[in-house]
Structure 1
Amino acid sequence: MSLTNEIKRFKQIHCEDGCLSIYLRTSITSVDQQKGEWKIRLKNGLKKLEEYLEVSDNGPQLAAFKRLKKEAENQIKELATNMPISVVFIGSSSGECHLKKLQVPVENDFRWEQNPVVDQLEHLTTKYPLSGIVMIKKTDVHLVETSLGEVMEEKQFSWDVDTEDWKEYVGAKPQAEAGAALHREQYADRFDANQQRWFKKIAQKIEKNAKQRNWDSIHLTGSPDQTSEFSRQFAIRKVNIMKKNLTKLKPHEIIKEVNESTV
């Protein structure tokens, strides 16, 4: 289920005895998180909510909160050995519980209200929409589709000198094709002479893919001369250019670089 549909579902939840919404940054890439800072934030955030309910002397809500608190702690702590960048927990006193792992940061927030709090989730759908990252390296084009910091799909396109067309691979390119790069080097001058026409051909393929998959935007990366030439072949105008070679990075590292450059 897409995040947009999940948000719609959360908005339909209403409980008189309360709903627990937790936004917790859990990434262990920073020093404080490696020391277990997220555990302290989780404990303190839940403790403040419980103290508030105890003072307000609301028996049914306090009982519901304690059940959801235990459920949230158990589900989040189960991720301890493989923590994402952030987690979002939505639970209702009626028994519904949802834990969402995110590869993008959130602001730590703990709320107890009659409806789930979805403001940060709505903001994330705007900040990290479904997009395509296109990496150009002359006769090779690597495409990564991403949403909310995650890899949705990967494609590889390599120029076939025999058919004079782009050959598509879904996922990683087979190792058997690696030797073809040496063969293509013999045609470097020929590719340079026809670069504009051949770039236009692959740009049209990418545009078609973007339309079918309903991308919000396209991020173009590579050397300054190739990104400039490639961007001119797109009919759509919403193309963000990053003049940097990311082809040696892993997909999640590529997404991180692009997301940080657009903040």
Structure 2
Amino acid sequence: MCYAKDMEKLAQKAKRHPQKVLSMYVNTDPADRDQTGGEWRIHVKNGLKNFETYLKNDPEELEQFLKVKDRVKAFLEDNGQSMKKSCVVFASAADIWFAECLQMPVTTEFHWENEPKLEQFQLLYERFPESGVILVQKNQVKVIDAVLGKINDTKLFEMDLDTEKWKVQASPQRALSIKGKGGKGSKKDTIENRLEANQKRWYKSLAPNLDKLAKDKEWKSIHLVGNKEEAKLIESYMQKQVQQTDSKNLFDQEEKKVLEEVIL
């Protein structure tokens, strides 16, 4: 999903179909002391009721709004138990519909106007567009695909020391331990020695996979995290530009924690 394209489509639809659009930003963050009792539900109820009261003398527009309200209520009922930090909705009685629960906070506000109010969403998106976080640790490289604080996918690339080929584990629960027999049995031919001797070649062979992921996922930002030398080595082999390199040891941290440390 490319949110920039979604926002462009919303704006175009609003121009083609001149109907009023509901723009709704709701702070649902349970960590917010003003939200500890799920007060966001009251804010939504009051916000929608205000529009209904305002439109009572315009039956045609009121009918449009009530259609939007019913769809919004259905969305909130379906997702109310799994709310994250915020909820953003753009909706009209015609064909405009965008509803997302995000891991980024928003300021609660409601609008019923001719065009969607995209400014707050665009600011969030500028802060956290489609991004790839690449965590490096010796013969393991974990890749987190995320946008707006939401984790879309996680992959773990691991060099099999027996075959010297990268293996991919989709959506790993946690990093795997280093595997391999450690060479031909020589005491000097340890795993660490093999890593040191072959790391450049191994990282070079992995770089095209990372570049392909960046292209396929339409990353606007790439973050490399891990040992400084290892991260810089991978960056040197990649064709895609890396926006940030961070010398932190976050490889075994939960993905959510990684995003908080690196981007949020």
- TM-score range for the pair, normalised by the shorter chain length: 0.7 to 0.9
The Cα shift of 1:48 comes to: 4.3
Other structure's SS at 2:30 match:
coil
* Equivalent in 250, 254, 257 of residue 250 of structure 1: 254
Matched, 1:107 2:81: no
TM-score, normalised relative to structure 1: 0.79
C-alpha distance after superposition, 1:123-150 (max 9, x if no partner): 4443322221111111111111222322
Of 70-79 and 104-113, more deviation after overlay is shown by: 70-79
Matched, 1:180 2:196: no
Aligned to 1:141: 141
C-alpha distance after superposition, 1:194-227 (max 9, x if no partner): 3333333323431233234432221111134433
State the alpha-carbon separation in 1 of the partners of residues 78 and 244 from structure 2: 38
**2:111–2:117 CA contact under 8 A, matched in 1:** yes
The Cα shift of 1:36 comes to: 1.7
Other structure's SS at 1:135 match:
strand
State the alpha-carbon separation in 2 of the partners of residues 252 and 73 from structure 1: 28
State the alpha-carbon separation in 2 of the partners of residues 8 and 221 from structure 1: 32
Question: Counterpart amino acid of 1:79?
Answer: N
Aligned to 1:193: 197
Question: Counterpart amino acid of 1:180?
Answer: K
State the alpha-carbon separation in 2 of the partners of residues 91 and 230 from structure 1: 44
Aligned to 2:168: 168
The Cα shift of 1:188 comes to: 0.4
Q: 1:122-141 maps to which residues of 2 (within 5 A)? A: 122-141=122-141
State the alpha-carbon separation in 1 of the partners of residues 6 and 239 from structure 2: 33
C-alpha distance after superposition, 1:62-119 (max 9, x if no partner): 4543453354344324422111222122222447654322233333221011233233
- Higher helix residue share: 1
State the alpha-carbon separation in 2 of the partners of residues 174 and 135 from structure 1: 12
Aligned to 1:34: 36
Other structure's SS at 1:244 match:
coil
Number of equivalenced pairs: 257
Question: Counterpart amino acid of 1:23?
Answer: Y
CA RMSD of aligned residues (A): 3.3
Q: 1:49-128 maps to which residues of 2 (within 5 A)? A: 49-50=51-52, 52-53=54-55, 57-94=57-94, 97-128=97-128
State the alpha-carbon separation in 1 of the partners of residues 161 and 251 from structure 2: 21
Question: Counterpart amino acid of 1:146?
Answer: A
Of 131-140 and 192-201, more deviation after overlay is shown by: 192-201
State the alpha-carbon separation in 2 of the partners of residues 93 and 213 from structure 1: 32
State the alpha-carbon separation in 1 of the partners of residues 64 and 216 from structure 2: 45
5+ long unaligned stretches in structure 2:
184-188
The Cα shift of 1:152 comes to: 2.6
Of 89-98 and 31-40, more deviation after overlay is shown by: 89-98
State the alpha-carbon separation in 2 of the partners of residues 174 and 132 from structure 1: 18
Identity fraction in percent: 28
Other structure's SS at 2:104 match:
coil
Of 8-17 and 107-116, more deviation after overlay is shown by: 8-17
**1:17–1:114 CA contact under 8 A, matched in 2:** yes
State the alpha-carbon separation in 1 of the partners of residues 222 and 28 from structure 2: 29
State the alpha-carbon separation in 1 of the partners of residues 91 and 49 from structure 2: 16
Aligned to 1:207: 211
